[in-house]
Structure 1
């Protein structure tokens, strides 16, 4: 296995689920899209774990990613 492949496999995944730009509050989606609550069953099946990206101002799924990934900061003291 090449050194590049080894480094890629060892690197943490830069996923939106782990990004500081992803708003963790599910209510932020409802506040951003007026009337979304009316479509609650559609909301649950189509958005599920998607949240708003504060950097790009769009919906992102937990497995999405981009080059502006910024790891979440731990709230626990070091």
Structure 2
């Protein structure tokens, strides 16, 4: 599972078959909860996921958390 810091929120993305699945993540406990709020396009390339999440969650950006980046 890829884990992203999305403006201070931890989200996981995992490829299952032909689709991407999104998870809320709690570290360091490694707890994952499936999120059905956002659907990632199946054809989305792995290198484009951070940018896509940034576009979707841009309203959560703040001075303290201005970026989206992969942490794992």
**Interval containing the TM-score (normalised by the shorter chain):** under 0.3
Largest Rg, 1 or 2: 1
What is the TM-score when the length of structure 2 is the normalising length? Answer: 0.26
Higher normalized helix content (fraction of residues): 1
